[in-house]
């Protein structure tokens, strides 16, 4: 890399594809439209997973990437958020080295990190950089994060035990148990880290949020007018992976989709990390079978934890072994199972897809909106319960599944809701609304669109940053 004259930004995604993908897309847009170059700095625990290197290797040449020294001695059998926090903290000293190296070769002006990387603000300051938060969740989740500090001061005990709902400014109210996972155990280090983020938000030079004004208009307005103080809020979405390269070999599931009627297939996917219990996998399999609808299911090995494959994005065992006996044979003409990572965006953009049973990860939600696919909400972890509630109750973009008293989605319920989505009036209404939003999303990211305007403002802020 020779010394550049254009402003350069360092981007630090925390582990997990759900952070890397939108941050890489953000870098692509900034580089393509504003003559800014970027380096993505990746914390590691060893050899990077294939899903990660595929994304990094497909980036244009003016977006570089570097891996930080692996962080070892991580605790076992703890929540992924604890592991992510430890990895980010253990990477701070090698981040310092990486920034020092970048500073000697580029006109480094800013550090962009996500909600697990805010301890690097101090490092950013040492290098006299602008500190930006890339918030890969919704504007609603950002509004909640701003208010957490106040909620913390005003309440005691766990939020799940609060006798009243928590109102998110500019959005709806949530029961304490629906709030995002990082705030569920107030005594643990994840909570303390997230609370610290809440306190630091007003110290940032700006926050990019992966949403767009037409989707969360009221929330974004309230965020700007009443919540965020002096910190600029930049909705820059919907940023989804624009060109997932999978070379010349087209995934088998896409070939299968080619032979299915238009809008007839429900995609079932729980993101990069979502896993179900064995019992729940069986209920889902029976529900899909009983619905008589076509389906494409990205299935992972069963696990008691709902996010067991978060770091690997794949199954540990052969999933076909734990599906109900005879299920594959009985559904062979209308079902397709992918037992590991599948090209979700290519699937969602395929003509044959007409519905999406999703865990409501924010990336998956945006992908569904961009491709106009009606959703069924099946939240598992992170902030997915909040997303599911906004999608079903506030925005009417998804149908909700009801659990039984043990928290299980039973086969009858799954069958009923899949049928309503694919054949019923409610499904058609959602489909119509999504068509409008789909064009609003495209407009937001076109010249003069709301998200492109945000991007221009960020570029201006970066270009005006004095470089010693
Ligand atoms: N994804 C994919 N193939 C898979 C599973 C997931 O391409 O088999 C992608 C999906 O398209 C999305 C991301 O991984 O871009 C998952 O992000 P999301 O925020 O939906 O959920 P998370 O994985 O963070 O829970």
Determine the pLDDT at residue 321.
84
CA–CA separation, 353 and 256 (whole Å): 11
- Residue 206, both tokens: 């700006």
Residues recognised as catalytic: 19, 114
Residues 6 or more apart whose Cβ sits within 8 Å of residue 321: none
306 lines ligand 1 (CB under 6 A): no
Q: Whose CA is nearest to atom 16 of ligand 1?
A: 271
3-state secondary structure 354-395: EEEEECCCHHHHHHHHHCCCCEEECCCCCCHHHHHHHHHHHC
Separation of 467 CA from ligand 1 center, angstroms? 37
Q: Whose CA is nearest to atom 11 of ligand 1?
A: 344
> With bands split at pLDDT 50, 70 and 90, how would you rate the model's confidence at 10?
very high
What percentage of the chain carries pLDDT values higher than 90? 84
Q: Which atom of ligand 1 is nearest to the CA of 382?
A: 25
154 exposed, middle or buried (CB, 10 Å; 0-12, 13-18, 19+)?
A: exposed
Separation of 268 CA from ligand 1 center, angstroms? 12
21 lines ligand 1 (CB under 6 A): yes
**Cα–Cα nearest to 311, from 71, 151, 105, 126:** 71
Q: What is the mean pLDDT of residues 38-45?
A: 97
> With bands split at pLDDT 50, 70 and 90, how would you rate the model's confidence at 273?
confident
pTM score over 0.90:
yes
Determine the pLDDT at residue 247.
58
Q: Which residues pair with 11 in a beta bridge?
A: 40, 112
Separation of 404 CA from ligand 1 center, angstroms? 27
CA–CA separation, 85 and 91 (whole Å): 10
Q: What is the mean pLDDT of residues 117-139?
A: 97
- Choosing from 51, 271, 306, 313 the residue with most ligand 1 atoms within 8 A of its CB, the one to mutate for a pocket test is 271
- Residue 215, both tokens: 């989707």
Separation of 210 CA from ligand 1 center, angstroms? 15
Does 1 score more than 60 pLDDT?
Answer: no
Does 309 score more than 60 pLDDT?
Answer: no
CA–CA separation, 220 and 251 (whole Å): 38
195 lines ligand 1 (CB under 6 A): no
271 lines ligand 1 (CB under 6 A): yes
Q: What is the mean pLDDT of residues 12-32?
A: 93
Q: What is the mean pLDDT of residues 411-440?
A: 97
| Structure-model confidence comparison of residues 13 and 313, the more confident one | 13
296 lines ligand 1 (CB under 6 A): no
> With bands split at pLDDT 50, 70 and 90, how would you rate the model's confidence at 319?
low
Q: What is the ipTM of this complex?
A: 0.99
Determine the pLDDT at residue 340.
78
Separation of 363 CA from ligand 1 center, angstroms? 6
Q: Which atom of ligand 1 is nearest to the CA of 16?
A: 24
Q: Which atom of ligand 1 is nearest to the CA of 272?
A: 23
Q: Which atom of ligand 1 is nearest to the CA of 338?
A: 8
Does 4 score more than 70 pLDDT?
Answer: no
211 lines ligand 1 (CB under 6 A): no
- Residue 113, both tokens: 């990190």
Residue 406: count of CB within 10 angstroms of its CB: 7
Determine the pLDDT at residue 16.
83
> With bands split at pLDDT 50, 70 and 90, how would you rate the model's confidence at 2?
low
316 Ramachandran zone, left/alpha/beta (phi>0; psi -120 to 50):
alpha
User: What are the φ and ψ backbone dihedral angles of 171, each rounded to 5 degrees?
Assistant: -140, -155
- CA 253 vs. chain centroid, Å, equals 23
Please check whether residue 247 is in contact with residue 151, taking contact to mean a CB–CB distance below 8 angstroms.
no
273 lines ligand 1 (CB under 6 A): yes
- Residue 468, both tokens: 């010693």
- Choosing from 269, 272, 350, 358 the residue with most ligand 1 atoms within 8 A of its CB, the one to mutate for a pocket test is 272
- Choosing from 18, 254, 386 the residue with most ligand 1 atoms within 8 A of its CB, the one to mutate for a pocket test is 18
Q: Which atom of ligand 1 is nearest to the CA of 244?
A: 7
| Structure-model confidence comparison of residues 112 and 249, the more confident one | 112
Q: What is the mean pLDDT of residues 81-108?
A: 95
| Structure-model confidence comparison of residues 190 and 246, the more confident one | 190
Q: Kindly give the pairing relationship between strand 130-135 and strand 166-167.
A: unpaired
Q: Which atom of ligand 1 is nearest to the CA of 342?
A: 8
- Residue 375, both tokens: 């959703």
Q: Whose CA is nearest to atom 7 of ligand 1?
A: 344
Please check whether residue 60 is in contact with residue 104, taking contact to mean a CB–CB distance below 8 angstroms.
no
Separation of 48 CA from ligand 1 center, angstroms? 17
Determine the pLDDT at residue 118.
97
- Residue 213, both tokens: 């004004």
266 lines ligand 1 (CB under 6 A): no
Separation of 272 CA from ligand 1 center, angstroms? 4
pLDDT in tens, 442-467: 999 999 999 999 999 999 999 988 77
Q: At which residue do the structure tokens 């044959």 appear?
A: 352
CA–CA separation, 170 and 143 (whole Å): 8
Please check whether residue 304 is in contact with residue 276, taking contact to mean a CB–CB distance below 8 angstroms.
no
Residues 6 or more apart whose Cβ sits within 8 Å of residue 176: 158, 159, 160, 161, 162, 165, 166
Q: At which residue do the structure tokens 């079903």 appear?
A: 392
Determine the pLDDT at residue 320.
72
Q: At which residue do the structure tokens 């003409």 appear?
A: 333
345 lines ligand 1 (CB under 6 A): yes
Q: What is the mean pLDDT of residues 289-295?
A: 98
Separation of 299 CA from ligand 1 center, angstroms? 13
Determine the pLDDT at residue 223.
98
41 exposed, middle or buried (CB, 10 Å; 0-12, 13-18, 19+)?
A: buried
Does 310 score more than 60 pLDDT?
Answer: no
Determine the pLDDT at residue 306.
66
Does 341 score more than 90 pLDDT?
Answer: no
pLDDT in tens, 357-387: 999 999 999 999 999 999 999 999 999 999 9
Determine the pLDDT at residue 308.
59
342 lines ligand 1 (CB under 6 A): yes
CA–CA separation, 167 and 159 (whole Å): 12
336 lines ligand 1 (CB under 6 A): no
Q: What is the mean pLDDT of residues 430-446?
A: 96
Residue 318: count of CB within 10 angstroms of its CB: 10
What percentage of the chain carries pLDDT values higher than 70? 94
313 Ramachandran zone, left/alpha/beta (phi>0; psi -120 to 50):
left
Determine the pLDDT at residue 246.
54
Does 46 score more than 70 pLDDT?
Answer: yes
Determine the pLDDT at residue 249.
74
């Amino acid at each position: 890399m020779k010394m550049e004259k254009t402003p350069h930004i360092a981007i630090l995604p925390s582990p997990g594809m759900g952070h890397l993908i939108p941050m890489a897309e953000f870098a692509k847009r900034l580089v393509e439209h504003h003559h800014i170059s970027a380096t993505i700095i990746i914390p590691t625990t060893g050899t990077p997973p294939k899903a990660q290197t595929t994304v990094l290797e497909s980036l244009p040449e003016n977006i570089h990437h570097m891996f930080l020294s692996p962080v070892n001695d991580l605790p076992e059998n703890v929540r992924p958020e604890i592991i992510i926090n430890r990895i980010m903290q253990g990477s701070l000293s090698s981040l310092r080295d990486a920034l020092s190296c970048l500073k000697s070769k580029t006109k480094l002006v800013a550090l962009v990190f996500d909600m697990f990387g805010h301890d690097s603000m101090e490092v950013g300051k040492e290098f006299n950089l602008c500190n930006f938060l890339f918030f890969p969740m919704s504007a609603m989740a950002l509004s909640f994060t701003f208010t957490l500090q106040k909620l913390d001061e005003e309440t005691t005990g766990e939020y799940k035990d609060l006798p009243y709902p928590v109102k998110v400014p500019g959005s709806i109210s949530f029961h304490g148990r629906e709030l995002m996972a990082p705030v569920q155990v107030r005594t643990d280090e994840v909570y303390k880290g997230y609370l610290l983020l809440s306190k630091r938000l007003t110290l940032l030079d700006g926050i990019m949020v992966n949403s767009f004004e037409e989707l969360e208009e009221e929330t974004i307005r309230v965020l700007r007018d009443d919540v965020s103080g002096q910190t600029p809020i930049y909705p820059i979405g919907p940023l989804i992976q624009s060109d997932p390269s999978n070379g010349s070999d087209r995934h088998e599931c896409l070939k299968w989709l080619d032979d299915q009627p238009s809008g007839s297939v429900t995609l079932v996917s729980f993101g990069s990390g979502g896993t179900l219990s064995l019992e729940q996998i069986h209920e889902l399999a029976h529900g899909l079978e009983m619905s008589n609808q076509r389906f494409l299911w990205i299935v992972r090995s069963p696990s008691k934890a709902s996010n067991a494959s978060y770091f690997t994005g794949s199954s540990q065992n052969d999933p076909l072994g734990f599906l109900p006996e005879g299920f594959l044979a009985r559904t062979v003409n209308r079902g397709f199972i992918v037992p590991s990572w599948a090209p979700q965006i290519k699937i969602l953009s395929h003509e044959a897809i007409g519905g999406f049973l999703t865990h409501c990860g924010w990336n998956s939600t945006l992908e569904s909106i961009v491709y106009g696919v009606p959703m069924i909400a099946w939240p598992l972890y992170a902030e997915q319960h909040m997303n599911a509630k906004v999608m079903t109750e506030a925005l009417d973009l998804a149908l909700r599944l009801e659990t039984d008293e043990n928290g299980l989605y039973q086969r009858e319920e799954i069958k009923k809701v899949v049928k309503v989505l694919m054949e019923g009036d409610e499904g058609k209404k959602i489909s119509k609304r999504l068509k409008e939003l789909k064009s609003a999303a495209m407009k937001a990211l076109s010249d003069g669109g709301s998200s492109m305007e945000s991007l221009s403002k960020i570029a201006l802020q970066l270009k005006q940053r004095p470089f010693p």
